[in-house]
Structure 1
Amino acid sequence: MSDWEEIRRLAADFQKAQSAGVANKLSERNCIEIVTKLIQLKLIDVIYTNDGKEYLTNDQLVREIKDELYVAGGRIGVVDLAKTTNVEFSQIEYVVEKICKEEDDCYFILGQIVTSTYLDNMATEINETLQQRGMVNITKLSNVDLPLDFVRKHVIARLGSIIEGFKDDMDENTIVTPSYIARNRAKVRGILSAITMPTSCSALASRFGIQERLFMSLADELIKTKRVPGVLSGRSAMNANYVPHSFAKSQNAWIESFYSSNGYLEYSAISRLGIGDPKGYLKKKYMDEKLVFLGSCVLGPPAVDQVKSALDNAMVTGSWIDLVPNMPSILSQSDEDELVQLLIKDKPNNLVLGSTTVLSMPLVEKVRADIEATMEARAKEDVDNGVIAKLIIESRGVNIDDDDKMDKKDERRKKAAGGKAGGGAQGRETKTKSTKKKGGKRKDDDWGDSDDEKKPTKGKGGNKKDLEFMSLDDLKATLESMSILADIPEEVYVELAQYLLPGLTSKYREVAMSMYQATLTKSMHNKRKTHSELQEEVNSLYTSFRLYEKGLKEIKNDANKENLAKHLLKTTASQILDSILLYVAEESMIKVPEAKELSASERQNLIKELPSDIAEPAMKLNKAVAGKSADDFLKTLEEESLNVCDVMLKKQDKKKDKQILFNHKIELLDKLGSCEDPALGLHLAALILFQHFTGNIIHASGKFVPTILSFVQEQLTLEQNQLLSNHQQLVVKQLKEKDSDLEGELEECLSNLKQMITNLKKNKEKNEE
């Protein structure tokens, strides 16, 4: 037999000896050697102690844990086990959890192992305490430091077996004995039987040492079984009173007599009888009757029907009624208000004013109609006197007919986006930018809104003034003069006026603005510029500006180019912006200066008064006009024209541009041919020469003539330059010295200048041929 087989045999014998407890059959030394080899070969599994001097098997550890648990009485902590067995804590915890899983009577709770034996002993101790006291509360057990739910579960499981008692239905943590309940029942029976006057249950329970909840439960049980004569008023011991039958009999007699005679009962009177909860008592006593419970009293059906009948009669006849005379006199102001609200809850066709005065809606509508009948005359007077126009100007941007304007603006947008028939060079440039409202429309200034009242809003110029039909005092005086409202309480006139005024004001605005719109349309028919005219004018100026800006690019000197650009912005660009601003100002009903050309300050102030959605892009255009770059203005105009006034700019058309340049040159030549002023002739000649040599036009005043002549002199002959220089010197000399002797010489120079321009045209035509 090999050593390996011998070790296996010895190991088997050793394990059998270990299990049987007779390991001493082998010598200690052999055991140590064999076990050491077996452990090294992982053929056996042992657990070392903390000091490493001893080891034991899993089965042995389980036996030692159970022994320690038995010695500890069925409950021991894992920490204590680790100290006792001298084994690592984690190993002990692992074995304990395994034991609790395998055995049903073991529980691992809060680092402790608890057995059914311990729980049985605990239940026995609880039972001893229960039998002595008659009641035990689990939460107050000081000697049990286990979780409440765990303890409750196992205590309840032992009720009727180890524990001779039962769980209280009102408190699951309380255990009582039948004898305890019987003793307290007898005590409560004796207490209630001896009482002759209404007494607080809370005071009785406190005096005789009975729990309030138990006292109420037993008292209610005794009353229901008619073991004690009396009633409980109130639903808890804090406010409940016990009323003996003899006393309750006299109470009932008085309550029933008073109720049958008057149809109502006051809570204060019920309280004086010794009833702590009057409302609860009456609900229980008269549960079959439809009582109306108010703040200080309760009304029976007869009293309620009397008030309801008077109200119904007023509603049927379309009049008004003050319900106070029909109500019991004992009602307080709050009771009256509450009763009225209850009665009109299912009657929406009425109006309550002055808390107890009810007006039928047909009556209110008749009053409203009578007042509205006077609106047209008042509106005509305000329109004729200019009151409405003044308010519109001061409010800066009031909408008159928002829907109509929006429809027209949508129609213009569609036409502009669609372009002319056939497209091509004459078509509009299609843009999808900007779909917001323009032309001065303010969504918060619509006087034609159907709401009763709009709060005044702050415009750009301050608080907006509202169009007023009449003041509150005037409306109150009008209501007081109406015969259908005669004898109505004084405070009702004020409340009715407050109720009607918002709707009347809104209606008057509609009538007045409609009348003003009709008058305005008629008077401004020939005054206001149409959108198509604006679009044509802006596009014409835009095309000219674009061609002028193209001509500026021919100037190489930056200083000269900047000065010419400023002149172009000050003239043509300002003209474009003025046309746009005057149009949107009229659209927004803003008062504008009579002059067609606006100064810089007038333009700035006008933009500030425009609605914000128009003012922002308009301000961008204004800044571009005040700038130094014609190209920047051109880009800004192309980006913002839709946002300001819905103008769609035309695309560049080279054929049309060529025709415009040709017509411009012909116009200059015609003017030069008929010109008799030497200074103007020199100006026209300079513009013609610039276009002749560059093919572009330029917008320049007389002070820029030297700049243009210096630009074209390289293209001219010496003789031509001499002619222009002489003419320029003579013009300057005449303007400075006012010398009339130069007129003949200037006429000759002007004639030579015209001849030179004509020859340039002929030479160009000949070269082209």
Structure 2
Amino acid sequence: MTALDWEEVKRLAADFQRAQLSSTSQTLSERNCIEIINKLIELNLLDVIFTTDGKEYITPQYLVKEIKDELYVNGGRINLVELSHTLNVDLSHVSAKAAEVERSTPGCVIIMGQLIDQNYTTHIAQEVNDRLKSHGKITVADLTRTYDLPSDFLQSVVEKNLGKLIDAKQDKSDNRVFYTSAFVEKNKAEMRGVLTAITRPTQVANILQACDIQERDFYFAFESLTEEKQISGVLTAKQGGNSIFIPYVYTKQQNEWVDNFYKQNHYLEYDGLIRLGISEPVMFVRRHFPNVGLIELTTCAVGPHLINLLENSVEETLLTGSYLDTMMMLPSVLTTEDIAKLVELVLKRCKNKSAGNVQILCETVLVTEKFIQELMKPFHEKGIIQQKAEEVVASGQYMQILVERKLNKGGGGRDDHHEDTKAERREERRRKAATGKGGGGTQGRETKTKSVKKKHFEKKGGGRGDHEDSEGRLELFTVDEVEAELGKQLAEETEDLVKELAEQVTPLLNRVAAEEAARVFERSAATGAEARRKHHSQLQEFVDMKLIEIRLCEKGLKHFPSNGELQAKLGTHLVKSVGGDVANALFGFIGREMCSRSVDWEATSIEARAKVLTEISPDQGREHLTKLHKVLTSQAPTVDEFMATVEQAFAVADLIVKKPDKKKEK
């Protein structure tokens, strides 16, 4: 718009004003006025704003003036929607002119549809300062709820007025928190008094509840007091209500108790340290005793003094060949695993110092080989081993085992039992050659039995004779028998220890008894061989006489009529009587030599001969003996049938049928 046009507008406005103020004889109607104004607006000669009802016009300058007036009346903050209703002007025109006011007025700003001026922000700063004086601390979140304005705007208002209208400090860890120096000093003084009065570990949550202080304020005051060295204690964590405050006086007493307990007992129990308030006992022990050389176990830490005592006792036990119950000299808090670890450590140290094998019984008792041998002495001195060996040889059980072994060796294949037995013997030799670890126990309470690796004694003697396989199966002693005998020697020991000792001694006794049985058998075999040769010679003479008797009787029978029944009956009687005596003597000899000795083979009969046939094997001549037995048990045996079978039957017993001697028969 040019200057001439603007002058024209002013002139027209003046004319319009004069026209309104002057009274004329002629007036314009409302419609004419509206048309004139519309025409001026179309010609851009007039800039006006319609009200929402369309009945009034206002200029933009007047609208700006009205907005500023309303802003002042409302204390520097007004909502644009409410302002639109108040001025009866469309919201778009109000928003546009409010933006002009924001640009032209310093400190004026539009936020969330609200127009705010500098006076209102100053008022906010003054109110914040008043609240800080009364409460000592304020947060931007509190201001947001109070003023219903964005947190960023309110924080900027507070930050701009810090040190000016607002006498406070901003929290370094959280820039949305502001506090006064008096508030900080008050918290520090309160915390100083409370923490100084505490003499035992206390949770921070309990301190906060007792002092009615916020967690953030507590940690802030604690850090300040710590930097100033006005607190005699530490926190287990820097944040959280589960943190625990531990005063130095308690830590000092705690360390003194630990030192005194260790000096008196030479070990530290982890559970005891936990009850004392130490949350990580293992780390505490490592930190508190860095150069002592403690042995860390599952339940406690053991000092070198106890280890040396145990080592000396073990060395003495190995040298004297006795036994040692380690539980009696170790703390009762140790578990079986702990004792096993200590015993293993001590045995490694003693390995090159003291000779002798050792094994662990009842998980805590160390037993030497010499002590085991001492336990076996009464069995030798009382003749128990000799008696057992003689009984097993006399009963024929030892001979039967040898025969079974010989038969098993003679077989082409090996059954599963033989393979299992061989594997068991190989595993037994491996275990006895190895050195194992011992177990532990608990003192004064019931002990659970666990599988424990043991150091077994090696067998003396490298080779195995033919009789040793049978010895492995020959059990002359039972565990119960050995336990009863050991109970007399160890009357003061527990039943569990005596039982486990019996389990260890029984295999050794069986081995020694089997060796003794082998010697007894060899002696009896030597004397029995001579008796057998004598008996065999007597049997040969007996059967020779009987055969001569049969031949002589046979010749006499030939004088009887051959077509009569008398000759046949006499022949049958001769075979069953004299031939029966020959067969009974033969079967009795075979029964004593080849069959079980539990049967009295002297009382021979038909049933006894049948039993002999069931006892011997086919390769022992059962077929020839069966033929002889059938001839004797038939209805009418003849002398020829008897003589035809007796020669082969004699061969089973290494007997011979001599040819007839004419001179002896005469």
Shared fold (TM-score greater than 0.5)?
no
Scaled to the shorter chain, the TM-score interval is 0.3 to 0.5
TM-score by length of 2: 0.40
TM-score by length of 1: 0.35
